[in-house]
Amino acid sequence: MTRVMAAFDTAPGVLWQAEHVTPQDELGPHLSFEGETRGHDVWLRILQTPPDWAGVGRLLHASTGEFEDLW
């Protein structure tokens, strides 16, 4: 969280959604950061799991520290 927050010009608003709000809620549990960076308003949401339609886009191999792009 500290590294994400450091990317903002000022301390962002941080929200945590612990559960799905409705059965149709595709985001589910996630962290939400709202603020400004480099003069642009930003709303960043980091999901616990990707929506069913999206799948995983990138993997981090913990043993090597390398990223693997999947899409």
Predicted confidence (pLDDT) per residue in 9-68, tens digit: 999 999 999 999 999 888 999 999 999 999 999 999 999 987 878 877 889 999 999 999
- Residue 55 φ then ψ, to 5°: 70, 180
**Maximum Cα–Cα distance across the chain:** 38
Tell me what pLDDT residue 69 has. 92
pLDDT of 71 above 90: no
The first and second tokens of residue 14, run together, are 């941080």
Domain regions of the chain by residue span: 2-69
Tell me what pLDDT residue 51 has. 80
Question: Pick from 42, 48, 47, 54: which is nearest to 13 by CA?
Answer: 42
The first and second tokens of residue 4, run together, are 């994400």
